[in-house]
Structure 1
Amino acid sequence: MTIPVADVNAPEVLERQHGIDAYQALQGQLTAVQGVLATKQPDKVLMVGGDCAVSLAPFNYLSGRYGRDLGVVWLDTHPDISTTEESHHLHEMVVSSLLGKGAPGFNAHHPLASDQVILAGVIEEDLRPMDHNVFDYQVQRLTPKQLREPPNALSDWVRGHGFKQVAVHFDLDALSPTAFRSIYPAEPGTDPADFPATVGQLTLPEVANLLTQLDQSAELVGLTVAEYMAWDALNLRQSLSGLSLLE
């Protein structure tokens, strides 16, 4: 089914309400996704594309379906654990909303407990003041180095907690821009060192290995692949858009 997306060129669509930019548009999309999930009642959910907020409704649904048997792996170089006190962007507070402590109007109906979530790929020395809830909510975390040494740290976490199902949010910006080019920090003509947020360090083969281990440790019932930026395709389209042949 198709989820309608609001016209972002309309000024009212981006209006800030209750501390959230584009509140009404995002609420409408969230409600639409919730309606599809409630109707279809899937055992598993796959999401591809969009920003981190695309995991909110599906992971909340999976939490309601599987309860304490569900573990959530948030594979991202940013923890997305802010509130409206630190941010106005829903995509920066998805984890806190899944814990029931985030954005007004977006908090999960089936909140996860803090020990059901692990933040994987976070670079602790680069955490910002807006990320302080990483410590306040006592959510476990693994740095890129800890994911490599040993390489089974995530599967050990799943087995150690006895999770029967697992949902993985894979934000592509967990990857290094030298290893994967279709991410925000790898914009052509820019230096990733000048990117205004933390830049990922993992490689695609490393992540593929982690996902395979998780798939073998529990039933993989949710997977998000988010924040895909196809720079070459976007730039090619924009560069050729003025040609009369393509009008």
Structure 2
Amino acid sequence: MKERQKELGIKGLSPEEVAADSSLILEWLKGTGASKVVIHFDMDVIDPADMIAGVGVEPNGMKINEVVRVINDIASEYDLVGLTVAEPMPRIAIKLRNMLSQLPLLKA
């Protein structure tokens, strides 16, 4: 995937790079000139120590609170017009519902 990202000029950040704050993501978004944002949230990004949420299980992923923070930080700076959630596993339906209820466009 990394080779394909480089080939296509797609920016990528590691979980470690966004663990403390969302500044690198927000800086990148600012550089695009975008005012509206669509987020594709692939559940595989979540660290399995927090929750096995996707089909793939990769150690050292993002913590649930980091994912929530990043999405909320983006929504506080930009018009969040869409949010897709990919690959949720049925066994985590309750945890997923609780997490998503904290995100923009999905709050009850």
1:166 aligns with 2:48: no
1:88-237 residue pairs with structure 2 within 5 A? 127=1, 132-185=3-56, 198-199=58-59, 201-231=61-91
Q: Which has the larger radius of gyration?
A: 1
Cα distance in 2 for residues equivalent to 1:171 and 1:157: 19
What secondary structure, in the 3-state scheme, does the structure 2 residue paired with 1:132 have?
helix
Cα distance in 2 for residues equivalent to 1:216 and 1:180: 26
Cα distance in 2 for residues equivalent to 1:182 and 1:175: 7
Contact 2:37 2:79 in 1 (8 A): yes
**CA-to-partner distance for each residue in 1:153-207, whole Å, 9 max, x for gaps?**
212211222211001000111001110133324xxxxxx5xxxxx4561011000
**In the TM superposition, what is the alpha-carbon distance from 1:220 to its structure 2 partner?**
0.4
Q: Normalising by structure 1, what TM-score?
A: 0.34
Code of the residue aligned with 1:177 in structure 2: it is P
Cα distance in 2 for residues equivalent to 1:135 and 1:180: 30
What secondary structure, in the 3-state scheme, does the structure 1 residue paired with 2:12 have?
strand
Cα distance in 2 for residues equivalent to 1:173 and 1:165: 25
Cα distance in 2 for residues equivalent to 1:205 and 1:151: 12
Q: Which has the higher contact order (CA 8 A, sep 6+)?
A: 2
Moved over 3 A (4+): none
Contact 1:171 1:225 in 2 (8 A): yes
Unaligned runs of 5+ in 2: 94-108
What secondary structure, in the 3-state scheme, does the structure 2 residue paired with 1:223 have?
strand
Cα distance in 2 for residues equivalent to 1:201 and 1:209: 15
Contact 1:173 1:199 in 2 (8 A): no
Cα distance in 2 for residues equivalent to 1:151 and 1:209: 8
% identity of equivalent residues = 25
Instruction: Give aligned pairs, total.
Output: 93
Cα distance in 2 for residues equivalent to 1:176 and 1:154: 19
RMSD over aligned Cα, in angstroms? 2.2
Cα distance in 1 for residues equivalent to 2:65 and 2:92: 22
Give the 3 Å change call, closer, same or farther, for CA 152–183 of structure 1 in structure 2: same
Code of the residue aligned with 2:89 in structure 1: it is M
**In the TM superposition, what is the alpha-carbon distance from 1:231 to its structure 2 partner?**
2.9
Cα distance in 2 for residues equivalent to 1:179 and 1:145: 15
Q: Normalising by structure 2, what TM-score?
A: 0.73
1:60-75 residue pairs with structure 2 within 5 A? none
